[in-house]
Amino acid sequence: MENRKVRIALTKGRIEDKAVGILEKIGFDVTDLRNKGRRLILNIPNEDIEVVLAKAADVITYVEHGVCDLGVVGEDTIMEHGGKFCELADLNFGKCKFALAVKKGTDFFAGYGVKTVATKYPKVTRNYFEKQGIDVDIVKIEGSVELAPLVGLADGIVDIVETGTTLKENGLEVQTDVAPISARLIVNTVSLKLKQERILELVNLIKGVIE
């Protein structure tokens, strides 16, 4: 049987920092992870674990294809990207929400005209409005979506809201919440079965140190 190390993919950036903190709390030596330079595959000394750093959607791809066994990724990416894997734990950090926001004082749902929504997350947006049974036009925006309603491209936006400061500074406000978000621990279905003992041990260690 192929004896590669257990591989964990972490979403680069804020999720990575918190996740490294969790690994440290477990008692793993994370010096390599803290001084990573430009390296993308990092070792945890004295453990059969390897850490891979990737962009959020890629974490899902690597886990889904089974080249990484575990992954830490935001629920926002899971909702937008989808995929076949097991979602074993809520890591209780990276908490925020998807929300529908509009220009202050306007009502997105008023009138019978078809509304336009700008978003970086077309699938999340489509699913939400499908559930409500509302027809909307969705425009995919790559950068700051807050601009779209201000310049008149859209009636509202669906985006991640953490503190609401960006919305406020641009004269927008939340009309309604769409879904809560937090960081999740995902596991490849086959790894979970073939390396069950080691993976569940790791999952339990991780669960043990999160609040």
Partner 1 sequence: MKSNEIRIKRKNDWLTPEGTRDLLFEECAAKREISESVTRLFENYGYSEVITPGLEFFDVFNGYTRQFPQETLYKLVDGKNRLMVLRPDSTLPIARLASTRLSDEELPLKLFYNQNIFMVNPKDSGRDDEISQCGIEILGGKSGAADFEALVLAAKSLAACDEDYRIEIGDCGIFTELMADFECEPELAVNTRHWIETKNLPMLNSVYSSDKIAEEDKVFAEAFKALPRLFGGIEVLEEAKKYLHGENLEQALTRLEKLCRDLSDIIPEEKIRVDLGLLSSKNYYTGVIFRGYVEGYGQPALSGGRYDRLLGTFGRGAGAVGFAMNVEAVARVLLKKDKTRFERKPDVIVWSENLALGLKHCGDLIAEGLNVVNSVLECPKCTKKYAKEHNIKRVDVVDKDGNVLSEEV
Residues in touch with partner 1 (CB under 8 A) = 1-2, 61, 64-67, 82-90, 184, 187-194, 196
| 90 or 173: CB nearest partner 1 | 90
CA-to-CA distance for 208 and 211, rounded, in angstroms? Answer: 8
Least distance in angstroms from the C-beta of 195 to partner 1: 9
Least distance in angstroms from the C-beta of 177 to partner 1: 15
DSSP single-letter state for residue 96: E
- Show Cβ contacts of residue 128 under 8 Å, excluding neighbours closer than 6 positions: 98, 100, 158, 178, 179
CA-to-CA distance for 166 and 151, rounded, in angstroms? Answer: 16
Least distance in angstroms from the C-beta of 129 to partner 1: 16
| 2 or 169: CB nearest partner 1 | 2
Q: Pairing state of beta strands 6-11 and 49-54? A: parallel
CA-to-CA distance for 130 and 136, rounded, in angstroms? Answer: 9
Least distance in angstroms from the C-beta of 127 to partner 1: 12
CA-to-CA distance for 30 and 25, rounded, in angstroms? Answer: 10
| 69 or 159: CB nearest partner 1 | 69
| 28 or 85: CB nearest partner 1 | 85
